[in-house]
Amino acid sequence: MATETRTPVVAARGGGFLIEERKVEEVFTPEDFTDEQRMIGETAAEFMEKEMVPRLPRILSLDYGATRELLRKAGELGLLGVEIPEEYGGAGLDKVCGCLVSEKSARDGSFAVSFMGHTGIGTLPIVYFGNEAQKRKYLPRFAAGEWISSYSLSEASSASDAMNAQARAVPSPDGASWILNGEKMWLTNAGFADVYITFAKVGGEHFTAFIIDKGSPGASLGAEERKTGIKGSSTCPLILQDAVVPKENLLGEIGKGHKIAFNILNIGRFKLGAGCVGGAKGALRTAVGYGKGRQAFGHPITDFGLVKHKLGEMAILAWVAEAMVYRTAGMIDRRLAGVTRAAEALPCIEEYDVECSMIKVWCSEMLDYVVDETVQVFGGSGFVEDYPAERYWRDARVNRIFEGTNEINRLLVPGRLVRRAMKGELPVFDKATALLDEVAAPPAAAPEDGGFLAAEARMAEGAKKAALIGLGLAAQRYGAGLSEQQEVMGHFADIAMETYALESAVLRARKRAAARGEDACRLQAAAVRCFAQDALDRVEVSARRLLAAVAEGDALRASLAALRRFTRREVENTVALRRQVAEAAIDHGDYPL
């Protein structure tokens, strides 16, 4: 089933959100889902309700059979092959569909990890880098759920620093095989997997990927890890002691394993964001349901303002995250339009590595807030295993570690932007210089109202300017040594993430209003107006810290004055706005946006 190519979004440059103005018709939003995309999402949601939920007790007890049985049923429905080409037994659908399935699979954290570990990092290396024989051998079985895959990149001594792997590979004396030695860590699905996508250094130098089949001589598993969360997923080390891997199981090229590892991580990052959206919606639903039934002082606790604050904020953040995820998926799909060979798709995905890293960090931290407040709504019951809140809380924590820690991803955001600027691909420094000239000029007259959410659109533009000034001054101060200033880079990443989140939210609401009328978007407008105030507060704090680290004296005073100009806005009553969203969630009993 080929996907419809109707994604109404321009192939924007990766990282271009900081220097380019996007029109509403150029972005993809959840309101733009095609009938096919909606059907895929509904199929995944129904599968989770009818097939996963009844098996949840078995899954949580680490019953391998239950998870494999469930994955096989998902394969029968086509859910495992969404991103596998049709000629290899899949559906060949787009990234929006992939995100929808990831979002719906997050009904439970343990199963979501098993599902996405197989369909994402376990399958896509062969989709994008496998040769014809490898694709025909593995992909149809992966799509059907007949074989389950896992991925082994990390090692005890090199988790974030994957290129420093100690696992080694050498040719066998007869040249028919590779002999691998080392120990890989944190393999999701390892306990019941049939295949391990593994990385080792050929000759101790050339980072390379291999496909290891279960039962290969010399390959064995260690004990299940005793994890804090996602306890229903399998996580084991892979021990390689003169493991024999047929030469035809070399994946990609010798010395090119980093291309596989990093490109697959990019996909995993924004799909993790989609899973976080699904997890946040589910936690909100649970919190609202429990809160409406829990009495205190003669009232449901959802009558109380501080509980409404929590529920309103949870809904707003989930809606903003959803806007970010599907905007990015739409950009990737637009760039992929017309691409027929898997290898040609990789540059299209890599183009948005900045956005993928931002989504991974922002959405995982959003989900942490949501599940933490869900525990708080449950009170003491949220801290015991008889209720689901504590499981949500434990399961969510790993998302800040998965797919590259949030610290690593924060560093990647400015690092990649600076690299592109130095290569002349993204004129961020030219824009920053122009902004410094703008600051030297007298303030412009206050703009007239520009329509629906015009003030919030201006706030997003102000956030962009704050980001550009900060990055420009940091690069000017530290030059090539900027990468060593991790705190500065982290502050910039926080500004960039809030900027992308705010602009995505504004564009989504404006596009909805253009299609349905402003009256149909009052609740979404309240969410955006509330979020914009808080997001710009966070931008200001991070920008002040960044500027104080890169400038001093008159230069610092001038840059802070510029920041105040860029972030000037009218103050809104966020208590009333957030309460409006919360009351809609309470009335609806669910995610209301």
Residues 188 and 234: beta-carbon distance below 8 Å: yes
Token code pair at residue 506: 């504004």
Is residue 403 part of the annotated active site? The answer reads yes
* CA pair distance 34, 514, nearest whole angstrom: 18
Q: Which of 322, 323, 428 is nearest to 15 (CA)?
A: 428
Which H/E stretch holds residue 468? helix 454-478
Residues 206 and 255: beta-carbon distance below 8 Å: yes
3-state class (DSSP) for residue 106? coil
Backbone angle region of 28, left / alpha / beta, with phi > 0 → left and psi within -120 to 50 → alpha: beta
* CA pair distance 375, 286, nearest whole angstrom: 10
Would you mind telling me the total number of residues written for the chain in this entry? 593
Please give the backbone phi and psi of residue 246, each rounded to the nearest 5 degrees, phi first: -55, 145
Q: Which of 439, 428, 438, 440 is nearest to 476 (CA)?
A: 428
Q: Which residue type is seen at 408?
A: I
Which sign, positive or negative, has the C-alpha torsion 31, 374, 71, 328?
A: positive
Residues 465 and 444: beta-carbon distance below 8 Å: no
- Tokens 């279960």 locate to 214
* CA pair distance 152, 121, nearest whole angstrom: 9
* CA pair distance 271, 382, nearest whole angstrom: 28
* CA pair distance 329, 440, nearest whole angstrom: 39
Which one of the listed residues 36, 403, 456, 540 is annotated catalytic? 403
Name the E strands within 103-194.
149-152, 168-171, 177-188
Neighbours of 479 (CB within 10 A): 8
Helices (H), 551-591: 553-566, 574-588
Contacts of 532 (CB under 8 A, 6+ apart): 455, 456, 459, 460, 502, 505, 506, 569, 572
Neighbours of 570 (CB within 10 A): 7
* CA pair distance 311, 321, nearest whole angstrom: 16
Residues 93 and 83: beta-carbon distance below 8 Å: yes
3-state class (DSSP) for residue 12? coil
Q: Output the CA–CA distances (angstroms, integers) from residue 374 to 281, 282, 311, 490, in the order listed.
A: 11, 10, 9, 28
- For residue 149, list its beta bridge partners: 195
Active-site positions read 403
